[in-house]
Amino acid sequence: MKMLPKYYEFFNSVKINAGIEALETIPYELNLVNANRPLIITDKGIVNAGLLKIVLDSFADSKLVVGAVFDETPSDSSLDIVNKVAQIYKETNCNSIIAVGGGSVIDTAKGVNIIISEQTDDIRQFMGVDRLSKPQRPLIVVPTTSGTGSEVTLVAVISDKEKNVKLPFTSNLLLPKVAVLDPRMTLSLPQKITAATGMDALTHAVEAFTCLQKNPLSDAYALSAINLIRENLIEVVQNGKNADARFAMANASLMAGIAFSNSMVGGVHAIGHACGGVAHIHHGLAMSILLPHVMRYNLDVVGEYYAELLLPLAGEDVFINTKKEDRAEKSIQVVENMKNELKSICGMAVSLSEAGVKEEQLEDIAKTAMNDGAMSPNPKEMDFEDVMQILKLAF
Amino acid sequence: MHNISVIREIKPNKSCFKRTVVTIGFWALGRALQSLSHFDKKVIEDIKDWPENFKISLNVLPLGPYLSIVKKNGKLKLNGVSSKENPTEKFQNADLIVDVKNIDTAFRMIIAQWGVHDVYAQHKTSVIGNVVDAMKFIRIIYAAEDFLFPPILSKNILKRLRKTSFSKFSNRMRVYFLGLFFGI
């Protein structure tokens, strides 16, 4: 009999507008909350890919007046940028925010929202869990990658470049008002980024299904996300113009985001964040490389959960034809095969050395990983030596 | 005609027993941490980067008890334990604040029914401060629990126990007899 947790919490208030011409619903949503003058936060890549134009064109014949567009968001959101954008918001009398982009853009938008809504000039005092007290300004998120799930998470991470630390903000109030999934927004995503962000979404779902705060609701989202990833990731990497597969991956990413926002992520993310911080490798790529290794490390503690994951990971036939006691190991093999297939299609690295990590960086990565917040929810204790062992295997 | 209920204010009960147990438990935890910071290599490693006077508060919401620990002369020091509803200044403005959301949760932790990771899994704590410091604090709490509780209890609340050895036994005795009574 499946055991439920002794106690769990689950919350997600984000309205999801998903599908054909989803962007065109934004003016209606903002009008509902009397916020017809949004600030758009995005980055140069989005502008150059023509995605901002698609968003602006979708507002035709509405009452929406865009107060300003900030398109200089860097790949790593920082305090300076958040303060700068908040100033623009005030000067241009905006009353809502639209974030168009990936994780950094969305985190920047959440950070700006904290400054504006809490009427502060020092966001650092709101760092931590449940520190926000005031309702936030309407935030609409239009994700342009299918991986981070930030459009439905209650977390924002902003870098303090001066002190070289990442500041986490966690509050239900940080959840966006609406997440808009429009197939047009991910069609131009490059092949390797598509593969890496897809593996990021898979990692969110697998860790959400196995980490300490897992619960029946987050499980449901995680399993559905993995199903969609199995059916669509390889196709979308091979054929990026397949709008249906793109849309399915956007949904998978969103569902995995809802799952991990309520059950947290674990060792893969802790080590992956450290790989990003020390060796500057792409987050999704780090997830893809590390996922099977951390799964194997956790196997003796959560093997039962990995066995369950075989059904969404490999499909009915493989699940039925694999002995019960072999299913957990088979799940890990399926993830490894997926990784190798992506390498053969688009050349995505399968080891840390291929991704550009130097052997002498492994110790720094392990030390940094030990102090990452994602280490806590991992189902099995990990100390420095354990992380070093995982890193050596992944190298 | 309906009968009209008597409308009166109902104030919450006080769980004096649980508050007393948690207060004593906090005192023992503070003394154990103070003691471990003198000799346990892993604890010494974890606290070494904290600046002098780095202050940590462990609070039970909303009315206490409260535990305050401070780093002095490179070691941890039990700065105080309070069961008063309104804590004095030394229990406020800490560099790292860990709040336990209610007295029942704190009670279950102190009697080794729930470990730190169980409480985390159930969303029953919140942290104010730097994540790196919080992770270090969790590790030193694990170390203190490993020494304070006998293995029959600590195996339920720790993800992994330190290996049994003579030195672990002697250090446990040190925590019991020197740590709890003299803080060394």
Is residue A334 domain-resident?
yes
Instruction: Compute CA distances B90 → A140, A287, B95, B96, whole Å.
Output: 43, 43, 12, 13
Q: What is the pLDDT of residue A87?
A: 95
Same domain, A370 and A345: yes
- State the CATH number of the domain containing residue A75: 3.40.50.1970
Whether the predicted pLDDT of B161 surpasses 90: no
Q: What is the pLDDT of residue A271?
A: 95
Q: What is the pLDDT of residue B130?
A: 82
Is residue A10 domain-resident?
no
CB atoms within 10 A of CB A65: 10
Same domain, A250 and A123: no
Structural domain count, chain A: 2
A385, with CB counted inside 10 A (0-12, 13-18, 19+), is: exposed
- The per-residue pLDDT of chain B, averaged, comes to 87
Closest CA to A368 of A249, A242, A257, A269: A269
Range of the domain at A265: 191-394
- Domain end, chosen from A185, A206, A234, is at A185
The answer to whether B127 contacts A129, with C-beta atoms less than 8 Å apart, is: yes
Closest CA to A140 of A106, A173, A165: A106
Q: Report ipTM (2 d.p.).
A: 0.84
Amino acid identity, residue B150?
Answer: P
| Per-position DSSP letters for A321-339, written without gaps between them | HS-GGGHHHHHHHHHHHHH
Same domain, A155 and A234: no
Is residue A32 domain-resident?
yes
Same domain, A151 and A229: no
Same domain, A169 and A197: no
Is residue A4 domain-resident?
no
Q: What is the pLDDT of residue B149?
A: 85
Task: Return the minimum-mean-pLDDT range out of A136-145, B32-41, B67-76, B156-165.
Answer: B156-165
- State the CATH number of the domain containing residue A195: 1.20.1090.10
Q: What is the pLDDT of residue A287?
A: 96
Same domain, A141 and A256: no
Same domain, A36 and A88: yes
Same domain, A249 and A327: yes
- Chain B residue with Cα closest to A214: B121
Is residue A169 domain-resident?
yes
Whether the predicted pLDDT of B109 surpasses 60: yes
- Domain end, chosen from A166, A185, A204, is at A185
Q: How far apart are CA A330 and CA A237, in angstroms?
A: 23
Residue ranges and CATH numbers for the domains of chain B are 16-179 (3.30.1050.10)
Is the CB of A8 inside 8 Å of chain B's CB atoms?
A: yes
Q: What is the pLDDT of residue B50?
A: 94
Same domain, A180 and A261: no
- Domain end, chosen from A152, A185, A218, is at A185
Of B39 and A22, more confident: A22
Nearest to A131 among B128, B130, B160 (CB): B128
Collect all residues of chain A within an 8 Å Cβ-Cβ radius of residue B135: 370-373, 375-376
Closest CA to A277 of A385, A361, A382: A361
Whether the predicted pLDDT of B2 surpasses 70: no
Residue A333 Cα, gap to closest chain B Cα (Å): 26
Token duo for residue A393: 């295997």
Is the CB of A190 inside 8 Å of chain B's CB atoms?
A: no
Is the pTM here over 0.95, yes or no? no
Cis preceding-peptide flag for B62 (omega within 30 of 0) = yes
Same domain, A167 and A260: no
- Chain A residue with Cα closest to B136: A371
How far is CA B133 from its chain centroid?
15
With bands split at pLDDT 50, 70 and 90, how would you rate the model's confidence at B4? low
Q: What is the pLDDT of residue A1?
A: 61
- The per-residue pLDDT of chain A, averaged, comes to 93
Q: What is the pLDDT of residue B3?
A: 65
Is residue A8 domain-resident?
no
Contact in structure between A121 and A159 (CB atoms under 8 Å):
no
B→A contacts (Cβ < 8 Å), by residue, are: 117, 120-124, 126-132, 134-136, 138, 158-160
Same domain, A27 and A64: yes
Q: How far apart are CA A214 and CA A226, in angstroms?
A: 15
Same domain, A306 and A327: yes
With bands split at pLDDT 50, 70 and 90, how would you rate the model's confidence at B170? confident
| Per-position DSSP letters for A83-122, written without gaps between them | HHHHHHHHHTT--EEEEEESHHHHHHHHHHHHHHHTT-S-
The answer to whether A8 contacts B160, with C-beta atoms less than 8 Å apart, is: no
Whether the predicted pLDDT of A296 surpasses 70: yes
Q: What is the pLDDT of residue A2?
A: 67
Q: What is the pLDDT of residue B89?
A: 80
For B120, list phi and psi in degrees, rounded to 5: -65, -45
Collect all residues of chain A within an 8 Å Cβ-Cβ radius of residue B47: none
Is residue A135 domain-resident?
yes
Mutate which of A371, A378, A380, A385 to test chain B, going by most B C-beta atoms within 10 A?
A: A371
Sole residue written with tokens 């002095």: B72
Q: What is the mean pLDDT of residues A248-259?
A: 96
With bands split at pLDDT 50, 70 and 90, how would you rate the model's confidence at A205? very high
Is residue A83 domain-resident?
yes
